[in-house]
Amino acid sequence: MNKENTSSRLPVMSGKRAHTNSSDGEQQQPAQKKMRRVDAEPPQRYRPAASVVPPRRPVAVKAPAKALRPTGAATVAVAPARGDQRKPVAAVAKAAAGLGVSRRPGWDLKGKVSDMEAKVQNYQSKIKSVNLENDHLKDSITKAQKHKAEIEDENKGLKKRLGDCEEELEKLATVKDDLAQTSTERDGLKKDLSKLSEEHKVLEGLRDHLESELRNIQTQLAIQSSTLRQCQDSLKESQELVRNLEETVARQREELHLGEMERRKLHNTIQELKGNIRVFCRVRPLLTGNQSDVLHIQLPAHDNKALTLAKTEESHTGRTADTQKSYNFSFDRVFGPRATQREVFEEISLLVQSALDGYNVCCFAYGQTGSGKTFTMEGGDLEDLWGVIPRAVQQIFKSAKALQEQGWQYSFTASFVEIYNETLRDLLYTGKPNKRPEHEIRKGCNNEITVTNLTYQKVNNEDEVHNLIMLANQNRSTARTGMNDHSSRSHSVFQLDIEGQNSDRDTKCKSVLCLVDLAGSERVQKSQSQGDRFKEMTAINSSLTNLGIVIAALANKESFIPYRNSKLTYLLQNCLGGNSKTLMFVNIAPEEESFGESLNSLRFASKVNDCVIGTASANRK
């Protein structure tokens, strides 16, 4: 280090050259003077020069390389690289420092001067070199300053650019945030997009499906439109057909109505021809024993209208043979013991039809106790065993329904009354037994017969009537236990008031169907009956006798008909006589001991059968 500091890179004057320059006398003097000072402090004089041109300074200015290369400093810096220029400077320095120069003895002034001159020359050379170097350095400084200015400019530019870049960077940072946000949004949107894509796919699938369905529907629509047109055409045809049919129906209705009226007329004519009062005889089967044991009642196989009662009378004296007595009877119809309820009803169903046609109809069963009156009129619980009343009710409601098609509307009112000892009892009564009201038969101004306080029950169907019949039977059985079974000794009268209206034709009809189970007709010897029994029998006989009288009076067309003689005839007033059709069942018990009663019943029935009552006319308005 010291070596470097002490050695100058400046070119050192060679001794030869010092000699050459020594010819310049003016320059040698100051050189000699200066030599002393050089001797005094030779290293200090070179140090500044070495510090002025630091060997590495130009190299330190590295950036920008482009700007450095052309400067003079580079040239100065390169100087050490030359090498050969350094050697003279070192030699001069050595010389100046007295190195390599042998110390001259005091007397060798010449030598000393020569050394001094060499030193001066060396210094001058150094000065030149320094000046040159200085110029170079100045030039380098200028260039460096210029370069610095350029760099500063450039730096400014760069700073400005840096600012711009920073600004841009800041902006970019915002943009980055935006970008991040955008990226997040994009991710979200991507997800949404993927979802939407899926949905889109689904929707597309749905659309395809719907389109396919639409095509199907359109096809169906086209087919249905075609069908509709066909239907419309056929509807028109049908409407035309319906109009024609309606006209036909109206015409046929008219014809039907006329036919119905004609039928009623003819039906009535037939009934009249058959007789407005008819008598059917019915023989009850034996309840015990063999039917073939019944010998006294003969029913001819070929004639269902005849009956013979036969009896062998023993000779009182025993001298004459027993006499055979026969009693022949003829009625509208005779039913043997094997006749079913259905067969019996078939014969009277035409009469029941007359009731719907507006004719009063009365059907009663006459006969001794136990001869089968109640069985004939009411029958048993099973449908096969149904008697006249339930079958008549069934037929009435069935026919009424059928007649609805011809515009007929019917209403029905039922009542059920019992006559015991000339006292009326309401069999449809549902109040307290001790509060039973009294009843009176009244005749209204329109000749209608009504019973006061009697239950007149509107009925709409068969079942309702059956319920009423059951109620009546209950009432009768209650009376039976309380009053020593008077049912056989009382008349029961079931009455169905029928009102029909054909609003299309403004036609109305009104009639009464009376179905009567009479009290037992057996005659009891006056001597054998006493008290209440005698009173009962008197009442029964009286009413039955009056019934016969009334029928006979009607047959004889008498001016006065004694209806009021008994409650029974008074109640049945409208069902007997000119405006009605009457059917009487005479019931016969097959037991031989009943022969007498049977004979009496048949005689009574024969009298009735002989009657021809008026000409029935329908109650039409």
Looking at the Cβ atoms of 374 and 582, the one nearer to ligand ATP is 374
Task: Say if residue 370 carries a ligand binding annotation.
Answer: yes
Convert residues 99-138 into a mask of x (bound to ligand ATP by CB under 6 A) and - (unbound): ----------------------------------------
Looking at the Cβ atoms of 357 and 522, the one nearer to ligand ATP is 522
Cβ atoms within 10 Å of 280's Cβ, excluding its own: 24
Strand 449-451, strand 457-459: pairing: unpaired
Which two three-digit tokens encode residue 329? Answer: 């009877």
Give the range of 362-370, 417-425, 543-551, 555-563 binding ligand ATP by CB under 6 A.
362-370
| Binds ligand ATP (CB under 6 A): choice among 11, 88, 358, 367 | 367
Binding to ligand ATP, residues 274-293 (CB under 6 A): 284-285, 287
Q: Determine if 369 is a binding residue for ligand ATP (CB under 6 A).
A: yes
Q: How far is the CB of 606 from ligand ATP (least distance, A)?
A: 19
Q: How far is the CB of 285 from ligand ATP (least distance, A)?
A: 5
Give the range of 99-107, 365-373, 437-445, 452-460 binding ligand ATP by CB under 6 A.
365-373
Q: Determine if 374 is a binding residue for ligand ATP (CB under 6 A).
A: yes
Q: How far apart are CA 475 and CA 477, in angstroms?
A: 6
Q: How far is the CB of 354 from ligand ATP (least distance, A)?
A: 25
Contact 42, 96 (CB under 8 A): yes
Chain centroid, CA 391 distance in Å = 46
Looking at the Cβ atoms of 498 and 547, the one nearer to ligand ATP is 547
Task: Say if residue 340 carries a ligand binding annotation.
Answer: no
Residue closest to 577 by CA, chosen among 560, 599, 591, 592? 560
| Binds ligand ATP (CB under 6 A): choice among 15, 520, 577, 590 | 520
Q: How far is the CB of 589 from ligand ATP (least distance, A)?
A: 8
Q: What's the start-to-end Cα distance of the chain, in Å?
A: 167
Q: Which residues contact 127 (CB under 8 A, 6 or more apart)?
A: none
| Binds ligand ATP (CB under 6 A): choice among 86, 278, 333, 373 | 373
Q: Which residues contact 62 (CB under 8 A, 6 or more apart)?
A: 68
Q: Which residues contact 574 (CB under 8 A, 6 or more apart)?
A: 360, 447, 448, 449, 512, 580
| Binds ligand ATP (CB under 6 A): choice among 280, 375, 397, 412 | 375
Looking at the Cβ atoms of 415 and 587, the one nearer to ligand ATP is 587
Chain centroid, CA 87 distance in Å = 124
Burial annotation 92-129 (CB, 10 A radius, 16+ → b, else e): bbbbbbeeebeeeeeeeeeebbbbbbbbbbbbbbbeeb
Q: How many residues belong to the site for ligand ATP (CB under 6 A)?
A: 15
Q: Determine if 543 is a binding residue for ligand ATP (CB under 6 A).
A: no
How far CA 115 is from CA of 20, 89, 93, 94, 106, in Å, comes to 13, 16, 12, 12, 13
Looking at the Cβ atoms of 371 and 455, the one nearer to ligand ATP is 371
Task: Say if residue 369 carries a ligand binding annotation.
Answer: yes
Q: How far is the CB of 391 from ligand ATP (least distance, A)?
A: 14
Contact 47, 126 (CB under 8 A): no
Q: Which residue has 């239907």 as its token pair?
A: 231
Q: How far apart are CA 105 and CA 353, in angstroms?
A: 197
| Residues of this chain that bind ligand ATP (CB under 6 A) | 284-285, 287, 367, 369-375, 487-488, 520, 587
Residue ranges for the known binding site are 367-374
Residue ranges for the known binding site for ATP are 367-374
